């Protein structure tokens, strides 16, 4: 009724669907375009082209499909990011909970969590506001961690706040990892910022391979010590 959708059916069997089109037209055949397939394609794309390269068009292209086809399976691009986020949550190492002392379990979890998301910082604004209902793997991670805290003797009403505090630190620290090495170069302002410039030089003189790791370790150990004091038994 509205505009003019051009020649119907004529070009419908043209080149665009030559290969995959035949396989996937109609009903569920193998399912290249299900959630698992979309997630895998998105991850590959992110690895190869980064988050700037993750466009709906590029994603569709890598699945041999028209961009609009994605919208039969997802409401928006945000859903794609959610899928990726939840996949990554499953990569976070929670295995030490229940197997090692609480301190060590938190330590391993936190380092692993930071490492995974430091390569996916564009997801952080998404996760931070993400209702866990939509992310089963993420929820599973919280369950394991919560159980670890409970078994370690944490009062139930402090568990969520403690995890949130740790997570906040982890997300912020994930950004640090990606910061340029010269981020604290005060340049021409060096003479009016003697304390800061001196502190930066003093740290640089230590010659740490990854300065972000030093700050992360420092903060994490402080949090573990401070939060650990909340335990009753």
Partner DNA sequence: CTTCATAAATGAATGGCATTCATTTAGTGG
Partner DNA sequence: CCACTAAATGAATGCCATTCATTTATGAAG
Binding positions for DNA, rule: CB under 7 A: 1-6, 8-9, 11-14, 16-17, 20-22, 24-29, 32-33, 52, 54-58, 60, 64-69, 71-73, 76-78
Q: How many helices (H) and strands (E) does the chain have?
A: 10, 0
Q: Does the footprint of a second copy cover residue 90 (CB under 8 A)?
A: no
- How many whole angstroms separate alpha carbon 45 and alpha carbon 54? 6
Contact stretch for a second copy (CB under 8 A) within 9-17, 19-27, 56-64, 121-129: 121-129
Please name the residue that has the structure tokens 């409970």: 150
Residue 104 site contact among DNA, a second copy, none (CB < 5 to 8 Å, cut-off depends on kind): none
Q: Kindly state whether residue 62 participates in binding a second copy, applying the rule CB under 8 A.
A: no
Any contact of residue 218 with a second copy (CB under 8 A)? yes
Task: Tell me how far, at minimum, the Cβ of 5 lies from DNA, in Å.
Answer: 4
- In terms of CB distance, is 58 or 147 closer to a second copy? 147
Q: Is 161 helix (H, G, I), strand (E, B) or coil?
A: helix
Taking the C-alpha atoms of residue 63 and residue 19, their distance in angstroms, rounded to an integer, is 11
SS3 23: helix
Q: Is 71 in the site for a second copy (CB under 8 A)?
A: no
Paired tokens of 66: 């028209």
Neighbours of 41 (CB within 10 A): 22
CA distance 119 to 50: 10
CB-side neighbour CA atoms (13 Å) of 93: 15
Per partner kind, with CB cut-offs from 5 to 8 A, the member of a second copy, DNA, none near residue 98 is none
Nearer to a second copy, 30 or 207 (CB): 207
Please choose, from the candidates 106, 83, 70, 99, the residue with its C-alpha nearest in 3D space to the C-alpha of residue 226.
106
Is 99 among the residues that bind a second copy (CB under 8 A)?
no
CB closer to a second copy, 60 vs 142 = 142
What is Dmax (Cα atoms) for the chain?
75
**Closest CB 108 distance from a second copy, rounded Å:** 19
- Tokens for 167? 């997570």
Tokens representing 140 are 């599973």
Token readout for 129 is 């506001």
Count of residues interacting with a second copy (CB under 8 A): 76
Among 195, 209, 232, 233, binds a second copy (CB under 8 A): 195
The partner in contact with residue 55, picked from a second copy, DNA, none with C-beta cut-offs of 5 to 8 angstroms by kind, is DNA
**Residue with smaller CB distance to a second copy, 40 or 51:** 51
Q: Does 18 bind a second copy (CB under 8 A)?
A: no
Range 159-188, binding a second copy (CB under 8 A):
159-162, 164-173, 175-176, 178-180, 182-188
């Amino acid at each position: 009724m509205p505009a003019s959708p051009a020649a119907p059916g004529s070009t419908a069997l043209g080149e665009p669907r030559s290969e995959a089109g035949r396989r996937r037209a109609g009903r569920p055949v193998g399912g290249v375009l299900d959630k698992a397939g979309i997630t895998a394609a998105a991850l590959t794309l992110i690895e190869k082209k980064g988050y700037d390269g993750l466009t709906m068009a590029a994603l569709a292209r890598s699945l041999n499909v028209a961009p609009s086809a994605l919208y039969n399976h997802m409401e928006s691009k945000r859903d794609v990011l959610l899928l990726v986020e939840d996949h990554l949550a499953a990569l976070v190492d929670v295995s030490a909970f229940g197997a090692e002392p609480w301190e060590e379990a938190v330590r391993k979890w936190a380092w692993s969590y930071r490492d995974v998301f430091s390569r996916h910082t564009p997801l952080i604004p998404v996760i931070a506001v993400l209702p866990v209902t939509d992310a089963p793997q993420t929820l599973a991670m919280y369950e394991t961690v919560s159980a670890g805290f409970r078994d370690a003797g944490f009062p139930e009403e402090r568990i969520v706040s403690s995890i949130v505090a740790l997570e906040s630190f982890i997300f912020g620290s994930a950004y640090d990892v990606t910061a340029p090495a010269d981020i604290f170069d005060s340049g021409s302002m060096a003479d009016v910022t003697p304390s800061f410039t001196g502190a930066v030089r003093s740290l640089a003189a230590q010659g740490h391979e990854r300065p972000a790791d030093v700050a992360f370790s420092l903060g994490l150990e402080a949090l573990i010590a401070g939060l650990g004091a909340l335990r009753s038994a």
